[in-house]
Amino acid sequence: MTDPLSMPWLEAAIATPLVGSLAVGRLRDPYRAGRWGVRLTGLTMAFAVVAGFAFASGAPRPTGAWDVQGRLFGARPFALDELNAPLLPVVALLYVLTAVATGRIKMRRLSVPWLLASEGLQLAAFGCTEPWVLIGLLAAGTVPPVVELVTAGRTPRVYLLHMGLFVGLLILGWSFVPRLAEGARPETSWAVVPLLLAVLLRCGVVPAHCWITDWIEHATFGRGVLFVAPLTGVYAAIRLVIPMAPDWALETIGWVSLGTAVYAAGMATIQREARRFFAFLFLSHASLVLVGLELHTGISLTGSLWLWSSVVLSLGGLGLTLRALEARVGRLPMTHHLGLYDHSPALAVCFLLTGLASVGFPGTAGYVAAEMLVGGAVEANLLVGLGVVAAAALNGIAVLRAYFLLFAGPPNGASVPLGITFRERFAVLTLTALIVGGGLVPQPGVASWHRAAERILQEREVHLTSGGAR
């Protein structure tokens, strides 16, 4: 009898939203499509959770009739390991909460088929371990946002320019990798440069950060958050760059990312519009994750990976909170106090909780991650440690400033109810439980990410000793 955990759960998690997008695309009623979107994203998350549990329990891979990849591709380009097994459920959860928290007013603007297609492509990318297939999926994942911008009547020029360059650099850089693997001369390590530039561009490192602020400003907020919050560029860096990059390339990533983290954190403190505040806050945190990767020590890498998952939850939740506020009062200026607390105290609490969790407030999932990252950074380089602390402090100031501007002040004289809905309350409570639970009981998460960090360091050591990076 086949072990239930040995069934193709990963393949099911990837295929469900992709097939569902084709089926839902035939529906003309947006509200019916929205209900199916909630069901399909929920089913996808269930498959992702079971797949992660199967990997953690050591269940064997699917064989025989259940070996879907072997029968379709003759190989296994999609597989779970210590890195992506914890990430897939988190990414799937973001899509579930976005679909659940979408009210009837926003339902007509949310393209459920493209939402499902984006989820399928993103889960496929995070579940992929084959470099060329991963590059193809990263390229395909840039297409739905173009449709989003065109449908909304926005120009995709800035986005297309940056994503086209990103895909081109990935293809160019990886085409040199076989030469590196064959024991090329030391100077061929410069072939890593295109891959390095592609990763920095995808993560929005200065000066290639304008596409993220443009995307967040012009896309619907839900789609904007879903495209950037999982930090796909960080995953590409770990799979394609970190194992084979020479030390000078990692140092370049670290110093450029550190500068971006401090710059973006400072910019977040002076923004006059909520979407731009979120964009710069995201840029700062994405750069901090890259800083931890550059240090390539056990404690810093573990802290960086733990911070990655924490940021996905916290900034994803912060984005969904701002999206819920926008659905009530429109675009959110940060030039005066809006006084929204009396109307939506639950959203105010969620905003403060997710915002402070992203900067490592004690008792949240980000606290342990921030401590490990700072400790590893100070141990490796005092200047890097000071930069990380400065960025975190500025991010905290930016979050508190935004909170007071949005929720403090005289009560908003709105004539329509602004209270939280049942579906939004479900999303808020789910995020609260995960963020606080991860802070109060961090041991399982830290142990999981420590194993992932050790695997990454081992892969890098194998490549260095084989002479691939010099």
pLDDT at 61 over 60: yes
pLDDT number for residue 470: 42
Residues 226 and 341 in one domain: yes
Residues 338 and 425 in one domain: yes
Residues 383 and 264 in one domain: yes
Residue at which a domain ends, from 80, 99, 127: 127
pLDDT at 56 over 90: no
153-207 confidence digits (pLDDT tens): 888 889 999 999 999 999 998 887 765 555 444 444 666 889 999 999 999 898 8
Highest-scoring range by mean pLDDT, 46-60, 277-291, 330-344: 277-291
Residues 139 and 159 in one domain: yes
Residues 232 and 112 in one domain: no
pLDDT number for residue 412: 63
pLDDT at 466 over 70: no
Amino acid at 83: L
Q: Residue 470 falls within a domain, yes or no?
A: no
pLDDT number for residue 269: 95
Domain count, the chain: 2
Whole domain around residue 111: which residue ranges? 1-127
Name the nearest CA neighbour of 68 among 51, 52, 84.
51
pLDDT number for residue 280: 95
Least confident residue range of 106-110, 159-163, 295-299, 459-463: 106-110
Q: Long-range contacts of range 452-457, CB-CB < 8 Å, 24 or more positions apart?
A: 452/81, 452/82, 452/83, 452/86, 452/302, 452/305, 453/298, 453/301, 453/302, 453/305, 454/82, 454/298, 455/81, 455/82, 455/83, 456/83, 456/238, 456/242, 456/243, 456/301, 457/296, 457/298, 457/301
Residues 306 and 424 in one domain: yes
pLDDT number for residue 164: 93
pLDDT number for residue 58: 79
pLDDT at 338 over 50: yes
Q: Residue 328 falls within a domain, yes or no?
A: yes
